[in-house]
Amino acid sequence: QKEVEQDPGPLSVPEGAIVSLNCTYSNSAFQYFMWYRQYSRKGPELLMYTYSSGNKEDGRFTAQVDKSSKYISLFIRDSQPSDSATYLCAMSAGTGNQFYFGTGTSLTVIP
């Protein structure tokens, strides 16, 4: 079983839709959770960072962590064509520990 599972998509939505991206994981020691956005031919960009459980909101983006279910989500409200990218989840148990990545979900927002 992989440490982190992420549906690769592709996911295609109309502009203005709410997008839900998800990852599941198996290691209960993970405490640090990140979402990255990667545009084609570019390095990943950190979007959201969450420590332990709970929600975090930043503009149109909301990250949720449910440690009891080992499930994290990224919601994008009022999606825009500029949100079209691959979204990677990542997690770590802490300092000195490795980071584990999902395979990425490809998102296309259609104008």
Partner 1 sequence: GAVVSQHPSWVICKSGTSVKIECRSLDFQATTMFWYRQFPKQSLMLMATSNEGSKATYEQGVEKDKFLINHASLTLSTLTVTSAHPEDSSFYICSARDHVGRQGAGNTIYFGEGSWLTVV
State the residues that interact with partner 1 by CB under 8 A: 32, 34, 36, 41-46, 49, 51, 88, 90, 92, 94-95, 98-99, 101-104, 106
Q: Give pairs for 73-76: CB < 8 Å, separation 24+.
A: 73/20, 73/21, 73/22, 73/23, 74/20, 74/21, 74/22, 74/35, 74/47, 74/48, 75/18, 75/19, 75/20, 75/21, 76/18, 76/19, 76/21
Smaller CB separation from partner 1, 2 or 16: 2
* Residue 46 CB, nearest approach to partner 1 (Å): 6
* Residue 70 CB, nearest approach to partner 1 (Å): 19
Q: Which among 66, 51, 109 is positioned nearest to 84, based on CA atoms?
A: 109
* Residue 25 CB, nearest approach to partner 1 (Å): 15
Smaller CB separation from partner 1, 14 or 41: 41
* Residue 96 CB, nearest approach to partner 1 (Å): 8
Smaller CB separation from partner 1, 24 or 103: 103
